[in-house]
Structure 1
């Protein structure tokens, strides 16, 4: 039986006053006094007697010398802390999975009378056209590149169009197909990736002014996997600055349903471009809502896999213990197809796993054990409430029995923010110290720039204590999830988002229609750890019964 390892291995205790000491760059500058130490206690609620401050003061000076020494050694972006985060509860065994199916490619698909309608074809439909040679990969690639160029001035969703590489890949795939070599369902199909993912030969800007011209000479594992499966990368899409929001160094990414709105983020470009039919699918990342939020705002389907399912090698880090990569598409089936390609153990990412995986699209969804957050849905005050309640009614009409569930209480939720902030502060330490952070576009209280500055004031002890409470949350969540295959939740307005990002549970956000202001709404399905199959199955069943995933914004088939 699988025995989980420790979630967090305790690392060197940096001392209570780390937040004070590490703000100086060398021993000769910004020296601190005993009075500074005494005043600094207020931040963490302590009040040591003077005699103890006298005793610990020399120790703190030695600590500072150690901190200064750290900064004399350069760390590459792909160096992760010697800490192993494992989301599995104690004595937990991942569910057995059946593996992925041979994806069915329909044989009766025809080109649309109006070529622009091709932009909203599903992956299986596009695969059918390419495999039957009714359209070439080159033609499809040129068509979508033209759409990116046409609509990007309005949507501001694209940072780099990888045109040269895309056309070369498309020609290669057409030649292979002519020779009878078909790579699979993604053969010849274009896609985009969030510009946190490195692609050799192209800039990887992370959406931020300090990295506007950054070029990382490597390619992220997920991109390599998609290219090998026959995908054609056509664009590096907007990430909000350093994985926050929808504002980047050259603008603000828009929602195709209402261009007066931002696309939200931080996978803003992936959400906007997929919604507008500029790409059939895209990859996004999530640490605390960055796949879910733009999927909701832009009216598409977004799968955030279990922590560790998908490699992050070659992807910007924001929080080593919370970052995930996942597909954003127009349906659950399309997400499942893309997920089947990008999932799996990667020796270049030590956090990835090789637990059983899969998806059974023909399985009886009525066999699933379903819980729903009834109280959270009832107390929802947003414009999406009507569609939430209608979605719940649809699930019941599908023959499902929904049992009322509540999320864990008696947990210090306000404390968990320090986990993401401290880890981000470590990754971007050099940028903050060099004052490059001052160049970022947004500088207000809720900006990434301000978050990175305040990260320097998070004590190591509080970071570790928050992770201990995180362990308690993991066990509490398991107490609930052990009785269910899927939980139905509002996408926003409750604690589901922060809980599942901390515990690593997979979720899928699926469209539920439009609110009274004609903006997209969604509902979220939460699955057990390493059981993407169940939420994909229920999401697909819901979309088979409804047409919300087939709704598209107006003005993009002109």
Structure 2
């Protein structure tokens, strides 16, 4: 079909004819949408998610629904465990497990994933892919499984930053079916000189003595070698881990019917911190505590606004406080490969942008990726 359209002069753009996969929490009419969970393995939703419709309009070809951790947690689903193509003894991490694994393995040119708290960043790190977690309110969630209405975000997982920009350009923007969206432009200019941008780094995070410290230090050195004058910054000092139950409360509400029906017993993972027990325990979260947690969250967003008066983009190790904090505040993130450990598995580094600042964040990440070339190495299959 794509060949025929292009031959007829109906070229839809750079994604025309490109095969891709979608995380199995996005509705596709005529196909199961299982959410990776046994209670929903025979579920059919009679509509296409907005993201699926927009990619079809751009000419992309959906070739697979991809595995995900059950109800968007981890890499275990009702059919087993999704694997890391760099090390088949290792899970792919999640919950956008199949999206990262399939892209890294070259089974699809790109995939659509989602993130609430690490579900693009974590599997992209494990599988050595490049991921974009857009600003909250950038990409329509119509037709997607809800886990946390105030934290869920949809974005591309690709082999390069440039590909992430192409896919994001096709899927972002207003949708009458999702009232949380903002109508703001995406002005991506790959030729921009990043030395004109103010680029920060989380000083205390880079100083931590972690297993990945040599890779993190090398990232800063590479940016300086590229002529970037790094500006030291720190995150707002608030107890973000103590308000992470916002996600638990919203997830429990989203799957209240599942809990009440006792069909949560069908989920594969039944350990203490797995969804069935989290959903049940979350019923005891006081409304006062949930409201106060969101008041703290509002303060965090305001404090982050102050930080972005000093920088346009900042670089950070991919995990730690930053990952949770920026998912709570809704800031965009681009995660890119940043080298390989002794066992041959990838590590990553992340770039965080201002709200709706995907363009600048992608440009900085692209410059870094072009200079390092880690994304050009692929697993042997």
- Whether these two folds match at TM > 0.5 is yes
- The one of 22, 27, 43 aligned to 1:198: 27
Determine whether 1:229 maps to 2:58.
Answer: yes
Shift of 1:448: 1.7
Name the structure 1 match of 2:47: 218
Give the structure with the larger strand fraction: 2
Q: Deviations over 1:270-317 (max 9, x none)?
A: 000000000010000000000000000000100000000000000000
Segments of structure 2 that go 5 or more residues without pairing to the other structure are none
- Between 1:517-526 and 1:451-460, the stretch displaced more is 451-460
Shift of 1:447: 1.0
- The one of 120, 127, 147 aligned to 1:291: 120
Name the structure 2 match of 1:503: 329
Shift of 1:466: 0.5
Name the structure 2 match of 1:241: 70
Name the structure 2 match of 1:540: 366
Q: Deviations over 1:356-385 (max 9, x none)?
A: 322111111111101101221121412x22
Shift of 1:412: 2.6
CA-atom RMSD in angstroms:
0.9
- What SS class does the counterpart of residue 487 from structure 1 fall into? strand
Shift of 1:322: 0.2
Determine whether 1:362 maps to 2:191.
Answer: yes
Q: Deviations over 1:32-54 (max 9, x none)?
A: xxxxxxxxxxxxxxxxxxxxxxx
Distance (whole Å) between structure 2 residues aligned to residue 203 and residue 266 of structure 1: 18
Distance (whole Å) between structure 2 residues aligned to residue 262 and residue 428 of structure 1: 26
Name the structure 2 match of 1:331: 160
Question: Contact conserved, 1:304 with 1:324, CA < 8 A, in 2?
Answer: yes
Distance (whole Å) between structure 1 residues aligned to residue 29 and residue 154 of structure 2: 19
Aligned length: 381
Shift of 1:178: 2.0
- What SS class does the counterpart of residue 278 from structure 1 fall into? coil
Name the structure 1 match of 2:207: 378
Shift of 1:386: 1.3
Determine whether 1:250 maps to 2:79.
Answer: yes
Q: Deviations over 1:21-42 (max 9, x none)?
A: xxxxxxxxxxxxxxxxxxxxxx
- The one of 138, 141, 144 aligned to 1:315: 144
Name the structure 1 match of 2:304: 477
- What SS class does the counterpart of residue 364 from structure 2 fall into? helix
Distance (whole Å) between structure 2 residues aligned to residue 518 and residue 405 of structure 1: 32
Distance (whole Å) between structure 1 residues aligned to residue 241 and residue 210 of structure 2: 22
Distance (whole Å) between structure 1 residues aligned to residue 167 and residue 119 of structure 2: 18
Determine whether 1:440 maps to 2:267.
Answer: yes
Name the structure 1 match of 2:379: 553
Name the structure 2 match of 1:514: 340
- What SS class does the counterpart of residue 113 from structure 2 fall into? strand
- What SS class does the counterpart of residue 325 from structure 1 fall into? strand
- The one of 110, 115, 135 aligned to 1:306: 135
Shift of 1:451: 1.3
- What SS class does the counterpart of residue 455 from structure 1 fall into? helix
- What SS class does the counterpart of residue 5 from structure 2 fall into? helix
Name the structure 2 match of 1:97: none
Question: Contact conserved, 1:387 with 1:515, CA < 8 A, in 2?
Answer: no
- What SS class does the counterpart of residue 230 from structure 1 fall into? coil
Name the structure 2 match of 1:398: 226
Cα separation, partners in 2 of 1:380 and 1:270, compared to 1, 3 Å: farther
Question: Contact conserved, 1:340 with 1:358, CA < 8 A, in 2?
Answer: no
- The one of 295, 311, 314 aligned to 1:468: 295
Q: Give the 5 Å matches for 1:1-400.
A: 172-382=1-211, 384-400=212-228
Larger Rg: 1
Distance (whole Å) between structure 1 residues aligned to residue 300 and residue 216 of structure 2: 26
Shift of 1:245: 0.2
Q: Deviations over 1:41-68 (max 9, x none)?
A: xxxxxxxxxxxxxxxxxxxxxxxxxxxx
Name the structure 1 match of 2:280: 453
Shift of 1:415: 2.7
Distance (whole Å) between structure 2 residues aligned to residue 433 and residue 251 of structure 1: 26
- The one of 226, 236, 251 aligned to 1:424: 251
Give me the TM-score of the superposition, normalised by structure 1.
Answer: 0.68
Distance (whole Å) between structure 2 residues aligned to residue 547 and residue 207 of structure 1: 33
Question: Contact conserved, 1:431 with 1:437, CA < 8 A, in 2?
Answer: yes
Name the structure 1 match of 2:235: 407
Q: Which ranges of 4 or more aligned residues in structure 1 deviate by more than 6 Å?
A: none
Name the structure 2 match of 1:87: none
- What SS class does the counterpart of residue 250 from structure 2 fall into? helix
Question: Contact conserved, 1:263 with 1:272, CA < 8 A, in 2?
Answer: yes
Name the structure 2 match of 1:46: none
